[in-house]
Structure formats: C-alpha cells, structure tokens
A and B are shown apart, each in its own frame.
Chain A
Amino acid sequence: MASARFETRRLTSDAMFVVCTACAIVIVTLLLLVSGYLVWIGAGAINLSFFRDIPTGDVANPGGMRHAIEGTVILLALAAAVGVPLGVAAGVYLSEYRHEWLFAGPLRFIADVLTGVPSIVVGILGYELFVVPVARWTSNSVSFSGYAGAAALAFIMIPIVARTTEEMLRLVPRTYREGSLALGASKAQTVLRVVLPSAFGSISTGIMLALARVAGETAPLLFTALGSRLLTRDPSEPFPSLTLQIYTYATGPYPEQKKLAWAGILVLLAILFVVNLLIRLVAARHASTRLGKS
C-alpha cells in the first residue's frame, strides 16, 4: 500500500520534472524562433545603402534610414543630457540621504511606480506638456519637435537611472564612507570622490541599460517627435527616429519599405544585444574582482 503511494508520488514527480523542462525548452525555442526570424529576414534586407541613404520618396527604391539612425542618436543624446544627471543625482539622494526616511522611502516607491507607467501615456504627457503649449506660444497649428520626443524619453530614463544608481551605491561598503569621513573629508567630497567613483562602472552599465531601453521605444515618440523623412539636425522640428520609421514602413503597404523595416529591426536588435553582452561582461568582471578582494 505504502509503496504504491510512493510509486505514484515518484511518478508525479518525474512527470512534473519533464513538464518543467519542457516549459523551459518551449520558452527558449519560442523566443529564439522570434528573434532568429527577425535576424534572418533582417540580414537579407540590410545593405550599405541602409546606413548611407535617406528616403527618396520613391516607393520602389526607398533609399535608406540614415536620417532615422542619426535622429535616434540625437534624441538619445538629448534625453541622456537631461535624464542622466537628474537620475544619478536622484539616485544619490535615495542612497546617501536615505536617513531622511520621510522623503526617501516614498520617493523610492514613486520612482518604482514611474518605471511601470505605460510608455504611450508618457507620449501623451509629452504632447500635452511640450507640443500643445509650444504650438499655442508660437501660434502654429502643430509643433511636434525633437525636444518633446527627447523629453518623453528622459521621463522614462530618470526613474530607471535613479533606481539603478541607488542600488549600485548601496553596494559600496559602508567602511569606504566612514574611512573618507574619518580622514576629514566632507560629505560632498565623500560622495563625489569616494562613493560615486567606486560605483562608476556599475552606474554606467545602469545608464547603458536605460539608454538601450529607450532606444527601442516607439510609443512615447508618436505624438512628440512624430517622425520625419528628412535628414534634419534641428530638434525644434518634427524629428526622425529609427523606431518611428520602422513602424511607418512596417504598417505601410510597400514591400520595399517593409524590407527596410526588417533591416531596421535587425540594427535595433544588434545594438541591444551588444549592450546586454557588455553589461554582462562588466558585471562578471566586477563580481570576480570583488571576490578576489575579499
């Protein structure tokens, strides 16, 4: 009797072991299938003209996406110029001023909550805050602009950078701070010359991660940067972005433009892959040096 029950238990266990393994295999194959397909088709569509040319207006021979690549780079630079200093400073507050529990706790919570705001809602906020007022001010009917797009991206970046900076600063041993203060350094000197530099590597990976995240965003740009087919470097105009251009081409009717969309996706994926790999490597080196020290 008892052995029969044991037998069933063992069989159930074995069956569930197989099920769990199958789940992992299904997920990995499914996701590899998706990304593999994107890479495969993208590789067939990409060529030098993609990086070199701008849209021609001819649907049979649509040119390239140079304008969109440059646009994305400029948007990211603008977003980072605002988002990184603010995010890092807020992260320093959350970590180094956390004894101000009345504010630090709720602010951490708010930052967490902000990372979960749907990106389309951020886009709409950007529209209401930067596009509508500017249009009213300059009495244009519309004033979509690269600045509005960069602001929307910065909005997404700030909470992410703040939270990763905080996490990384918390990993800096307390003894570093105490040592610095004991040597007569002020709090500002301690934070700027000891705490931040010793977490520099991991904070910059956090920033890279945030940049990679917003590089793939489309929804916040729909109603702010709007997209453009011109090679423009003036962010007060409607501004091109890789993701917006991919979306326009992919949902459009022309096969040649769709090919460009596939190529664009490949470029995006390649960037993300490299960033993730770099972060992985840096994290691994970090872990090993820390182990070596202790």
Chain B
Amino acid sequence: MTTDVSAISAAALSPNASSGDARSQHRSFRLGDALLGLVCRGSAAIIALMLGALVLVLLTSAMPAIKQFGLGFLVSSEWRVNELERPVKDAAGHVVMEEGEVVMETIKPAFGALPVIYGTAVSSLIALVVAVPLSLGAALFLVRVAPTLRLAGPLSFLIEFLAAIPSLAYGIWGLFVLAPFLQSRVGPAIQATLENVPGLRWLFYETVTIAGKAVERPIPITGRDMLCGSLVLAIMILPIVTSVSRDVLKAVPRTQIEGTLALGATWWQSCVAMLRYGRSGLFGAVMLGLARAAGETMAITMVIGNNNQINPSPFAPAQTMASLLANEFAEASEGLHQASLLYVALVLLVMSLLFNIIARRLVVGRASPAGH
C-alpha cells in the first residue's frame, strides 16, 4: 500500500520524468522494501529461534537425567558423581562377612537437585530480605527528597553505574574483604552472643555420622558460607531494585501525592500512598532482583563455599544451582553427570524465566513511564 502511494506521489512530484522511469523506480522501491522486510523479519525471527534453541538444547541434552530421575530429581539430595563401594551391613548394623571376606555392594552414581535448589532459594531470599527494605527507602528518598536537594541526577548516575559493575568485581570484593571480615569479626561475635541461647545451637553445630555414630561437631566459621553469599547477593541487587523502584515511584501521578497531602496526610503517609499505588510495579522490581540473585554465578561461586549440602546454619558452606554449574560442568564426564548438570541448568532457566515474566508483566504492564 505504502509503496503504491509513494510511487505515485514520486511520479507526481517530478512531472518531467517519463512513465518508464516511474515504473523502474517503483520496482526498485518494491525490491528495497522487500529486502528490508526480509532482513528485519529474519533478525526478529532469530530472537524467537534463540529462545527455542535454548529450551530445546537443554531439554534434549538433559534427557538422560530426566528419564532416569524424573521429577524426583528436584527433591532428592543425593549427589554422588562416582560409583561407591561399601560393605553390606545387616539389620543390626554389623558388617556382613562371607567366607572370611567382607561383602561389598556397589552404589550407582545418583543425582538430585534439592541441595542446590535449597541453596538458591535461601540465599536469594536472605538477599531480598536485606536488600528490598533498603532499596525501597532509598527509592523514596530519590523520588521525594533528592530532587529538592539537586541530588537526584548524581545519585541516579552513581546507582546506574554500580548496577553495571560486573559480578566478578563483587565476587572478588566478597572473597577478599567481606569473607575475611565475617570470619574474623562478625562470625565469632555472633557466636559469642548467641551460642548459649537455648534453641540456637543449630546455628553453630552440626550433627554428622562418623563410623555409625552421630557426633555433634562445631561448624568451622570460614567466612565463605551461606551468610557471605547472601550478603554479596544483597549488595549486588541493591542498585537494580533501587533504580526500578525509583522508576515505578516516579510514574505515580503527581495528583495522587498532592491529593493525599491536601487531605492532611503527613510526608510519610503520602509515601505510603505512593507505595500502595505502585505496589504491583514494586513487586515487579523485587521479582527482577530475585531473578538476578537466583541466576547470579561468578560472585556466589567465589563466596558461598561450594558444598552440596542442606544445612540450616548460615555459617555452613552451601551451593546454588549456578555455582554448581560453574564448578562442575567443565569437569563433568559425559553421561549421567553431565546430563544431571544440564537438568539443573534447565531448572534454573525455567525458574528465572518465570521470575522475569512475572516481573515484566508487573513493571511494564502498569507503570511504564513511556506509555504507548
């Protein structure tokens, strides 16, 4: 349609041109439009292909593990890479002997994602609990106080720059600054205060089975543990949660704030009204933070301690899905181990896609400042 109209108008604008010229121009227009359409549509299709390839490749490569373990993978906490030989024991717990030799049994490698799912969930949640209140407070400051102090510009620049700092940098800071600090100062201080409080022993002691006996032993405070991982995550998601919340709060209509103030609300009461007005967008900001925390790899790998276990104590080393992948994928032998890691990657992908979809719906759906 457009081409027809433009070709006609081009001909009309140049009365001296012969009709043959107009026709060849018309043809070249159609060709150019078709080419541009092809290139743009093709490139756009590649975006769809990328998502398709991502899901398809992970699904097919994880298939052996999916077939073997099914959904039980998600709730099993076994993670044995190699075959294990151990003596068979009878009901009384004695080693079974036959013809003077200990009877051995072979245990096949087994894989389950529960410890890493637990690690991801708990570290992300602690990070959110630390980061979200701080971010909301700062976002309110940025929207309602900073502009009057002419601070909004510089502070926004600072926060956006900090959001761009690679996770590797936060990881190195966590590894060399935060972890030693937690190990030498914070950990011992907390232990000294809380160790004798009844009901909090699990913070500092773990029960392990050694040679068939349950032994309680103290958890060594190394600084590279769940607590450190969560704190580094919290620091990393502060900028993004703050800047998205700021955008959401900025999009609250001025009349809403003025209305509450006119009704006699105090500064804080009108802030509450703002928060309530933007609640779905703010929830989206939190989900974006969650998605970022859950998918975070380099920083968490460096500080969480990388131990595939479920331990309720924040002073115990843990493992997240992303850190498990970073640690083991390169060395995994082809076969079940690698397929299981790919299964973990698939779970991670689905989870972060879910968080992102929810977040986009909430932030873009309601509070888009550049509305259509």
From B158, B169, B271, B322, contact of A28 by CB (8 A):
B158
- Beta-carbon contact of A118 and B352 below 8 Å: yes
Query: Which positions 1-29 of chain A face chain B at CB distance < 8 Å?
Result: 9-10, 12-17, 19-24, 26-28
Residue B295, interface by CB 8 Å? yes
Q: Which residues of B contact A269 (CB under 8 A)?
A: 165, 169
Q: Which residues of B contact A115 (CB under 8 A)?
A: 356
Bound complex: CA A250 to CA B179 (Å) = 14
Residue A167, interface by CB 8 Å? yes
Residue B168, interface by CB 8 Å? yes
Residue B35, interface by CB 8 Å? yes
Bound complex: CA A74 to CA B267 (Å) = 53
- Beta-carbon contact of B6 and A185 below 8 Å: yes
Bound complex: CA A212 to CA B42 (Å) = 26
Closest to B52 in A: A110
- Beta-carbon contact of B172 and A262 below 8 Å: yes
Q: Which residues of A contact B268 (CB under 8 A)?
A: 12-13, 15-17
Residue A56, interface by CB 8 Å? no
Interface size class on chain A is: 35 or more
From A159, A184, A268, contact of B10 by CB (8 A):
A184
Residue A243, interface by CB 8 Å? yes
- Beta-carbon contact of A268 and B141 below 8 Å: no
Residue A43, interface by CB 8 Å? no
- Beta-carbon contact of B33 and A186 below 8 Å: yes
Residue A121, interface by CB 8 Å? yes
From B46, B172, B345, contact of A246 by CB (8 A):
B172
Q: Which residues of B contact A16 (CB under 8 A)?
A: 267-268, 271
From A89, A97, A118, A222, contact of B349 by CB (8 A):
A118
- Beta-carbon contact of A188 and B32 below 8 Å: yes
- Beta-carbon contact of A90 and B46 below 8 Å: yes
From B39, B235, B370, contact of A30 by CB (8 A):
B235
A13: min CB distance to chain B, Å: 4
Q: Which residues of B contact A127 (CB under 8 A)?
A: 329
Q: Which residues of A contact B359 (CB under 8 A)?
A: 116
Residue A199, interface by CB 8 Å? no
Bound complex: CA A273 to CA B161 (Å) = 7
- Beta-carbon contact of A218 and B137 below 8 Å: no
Query: Which positions 341-358 of chain B face chain A at CB distance < 8 Å?
Result: 342, 345, 348-349, 352-353, 355-357
Bound complex: CA A30 to CA B138 (Å) = 13
Bound complex: CA A182 to CA B32 (Å) = 17
- A276-B295 contact, Cβ under 8 Å, with A23-B138, A90-B44: no
- The stretch that binds A, out of B53-61, B85-93, B195-203, is B53-61
- Beta-carbon contact of A19 and B166 below 8 Å: no
Chain B interfacial residues counted at CB < 8 A: 99
Residue A78, interface by CB 8 Å? no
- Chain B CB within 10 Å, residue with most, of A89, A118, A181, A272: A118
- Beta-carbon contact of B135 and A216 below 8 Å: no
Residue B194, interface by CB 8 Å? no
Closest to B170 in A: A34
- A38-B173 contact, Cβ under 8 Å, with A27-B138, A186-B32: yes
- Beta-carbon contact of A97 and B40 below 8 Å: yes
- A187-B33 contact, Cβ under 8 Å, with A20-B141, A23-B133, A181-B6: yes
Bound complex: CA A222 to CA B6 (Å) = 52
Q: Which residues of A contact B65 (CB under 8 A)?
A: none
Q: Which residues of A contact B137 (CB under 8 A)?
A: 19-20, 22-24
Residue B251, interface by CB 8 Å? no
Q: Which residues of B contact A170 (CB under 8 A)?
A: 370
Residue B305, interface by CB 8 Å? no
Bound complex: CA A165 to CA B62 (Å) = 35
A4: min CB distance to chain B, Å: 15
Taken residue by residue from 48 to 76, chain B's Cβ proximity to chain A (1 for < 8 Å, 0 otherwise) reads as: 10110110011001000000000000000
Closest to A16 in B: B268
Residue A223, interface by CB 8 Å? yes
Bound complex: CA A205 to CA B336 (Å) = 45
14 new A-B contacts at CB < 8 Å, known A89-B43, A186-B3, A188-B35: A20-B271, A24-B138, A35-B165, A37-B173, A38-B172, A118-B297, A120-B326, A125-B54, A186-B7, A223-B330, A250-B171, A251-B175, A268-B169, A280-B157
Residues of B that sit less than 8 Å from A by CB: 2-3, 5-7, 9-10, 13, 29-30, 32-33, 35-37, 39-44, 46-48, 50-51, 53-54, 57-58, 61, 133-138, 140-142, 144-146, 155, 157-162, 164-173, 175-177, 235, 238-239, 242, 266-269, 271, 288, 291-292, 294-298, 302, 322, 325-326, 329-330, 342, 345, 348-349, 352-353, 355-357, 359-360, 364, 370
List 24 A-B pairs, Cβ < 8 Å.
A23-B141, A24-B138, A24-B141, A27-B238, A27-B242, A28-B158, A37-B173, A89-B39, A89-B43, A92-B40, A113-B360, A117-B349, A120-B295, A128-B57, A158-B46, A183-B13, A184-B13, A185-B6, A186-B7, A192-B36, A212-B164, A216-B164, A219-B298, A250-B302
